[in-house]
Amino acid sequence: MKTKISVLLVCLAVLLAGCADVFPLNQQNPAFSAGVSVSDETFSDVAETSSKEDISTQVVTTTAETTSVTEKATEATTQEPATQEETTTEAEEPTTQKKVGIVEGIIEGITELSGLLSGKNNKHSIDPDKPLLALTFDDGPSAHTKRLLDILGQHGARATFFVTGNTVGRRADTVKRIVNEGHEIANHSWSHKNLTELSNEDISAELEKTNNKIYEITGVECKLARPPYGAYNDEVKRVGKDLGMAYILWSYDTLDWKTKDAQAVYDAVMAGAKDGRIILCHDLHKTTVDAMETVIPALIEEGYQLVTVSELLTARGGSIKAGNTYNKLK
Ligand SMILES: [Zn+2]
């Protein structure tokens, strides 16, 4: 009897040992630590010299030298003519492709940044060592925007929508989806007027009215704007500063509004895609959304992470200031 019990105990011990191998306790899944989470609450830059290994633990306060977007360089290349959307534009490429690591933590001293991030679901896994691209869509929301959201969602891609205020109310459901699905919503004026031809009062009204409408529908306080036609001057900048808003231009224009051909849009985006770029498209056109069916998986296949403008600027720039304009990074 005793022998039988001993044998049983030994068997039990062996079984338990086996179970321990199958279900090791507290084993960390490496997948959880891979990638980097970016949100308006958890972001910090890591010095350029940081190695991949210490990214998860090192928090470095951002310095102007390493991360601030070069305003001078931006200024020099963003003076677009009022007819910007009718001309081919390819701004200089970002000269530095910073490998900016991101860890949990909040950047000290860059209070503007967190304030400028908009969108409710900013949690998005980003690997700063891989190429980033910000697709931006202007002049919507349109009848095609929901399909675009479907495509983006299928591929886990993010984008930024510069909406015109006078269409926001009519397509409230689409606007809510933009925000709820983690994309960024931004201001493209109320009625798409050339802001440089307006009084300061009217510029302010174009921006504020749109902000108010976006807030009313989504609860998002919009801090990024793109002036129609990329047209701005000192007065436009001054009003932006007063309203606490920054202007986002672009580094590559797909001319989708002109070609209105899905294949041409595909070719343009694929030719213009480069790490760190902000790509200009228009979700107003069916052909642009048609193109995105193939563009988005193709970009991902090429290794691009499709991120919002704020995610891009956060990962590569680190600082956005109200009243300034951005289209490229240092
Ligand atoms: Zn526009």
What pLDDT, on the 0 to 100 scale, is given for residue 46?
Answer: 24
What pLDDT, on the 0 to 100 scale, is given for residue 97?
Answer: 33
| Mean pLDDT, 10 residues at a time, the chain of 330 residues | 46 39 30 27 24 28 30 34 34 33 26 39 74 97 98 98 97 98 98 98 98 98 97 97 96 97 98 96 98 98 96 83 77
What pLDDT, on the 0 to 100 scale, is given for residue 328?
Answer: 62
Output the pTM of the full model.
0.67
Q: Rounded to the nearest whole angstrom, what is the distance from the C-alpha of residue 280 to the centroid of ligand 1?
A: 10
Q: Is 138 a catalytic residue?
A: yes
The catalytically annotated residue of 40, 45, 124, 138 is 138
What pLDDT, on the 0 to 100 scale, is given for residue 252?
Answer: 96
- Tell me if the domain spanning 36-326 has CATH number 3.30.930.10: no
Angstrom distance (rounded) from CA 55 to CA 244: 32
Q: How far is CA 103 from the centre of its chain?
A: 17
What pLDDT, on the 0 to 100 scale, is given for residue 129?
Answer: 83
What pLDDT, on the 0 to 100 scale, is given for residue 123?
Answer: 59
Q: Tokens 């492709």 correspond to what residue?
A: 97
Q: Rounded to the nearest whole angstrom, what is the distance from the C-alpha of residue 188 to the centroid of ligand 1?
A: 7
What pLDDT, on the 0 to 100 scale, is given for residue 32?
Answer: 25
What pLDDT, on the 0 to 100 scale, is given for residue 327?
Answer: 81
Q: Is 290 a catalytic residue?
A: no
Q: Rounded to the nearest whole angstrom, what is the distance from the C-alpha of residue 116 to the centroid of ligand 1?
A: 21
Q: Rounded to the nearest whole angstrom, what is the distance from the C-alpha of residue 139 to the centroid of ligand 1?
A: 5
The catalytically annotated residue of 139, 282, 283, 290 is 282
Q: Tokens 């991030």 correspond to what residue?
A: 117
Q: Rounded to the nearest whole angstrom, what is the distance from the C-alpha of residue 1 to the centroid of ligand 1?
A: 88
- Tell me how far CA of residue 88 lies from CA of 60, 172, 255, 257, in angstroms: 40, 33, 7, 11
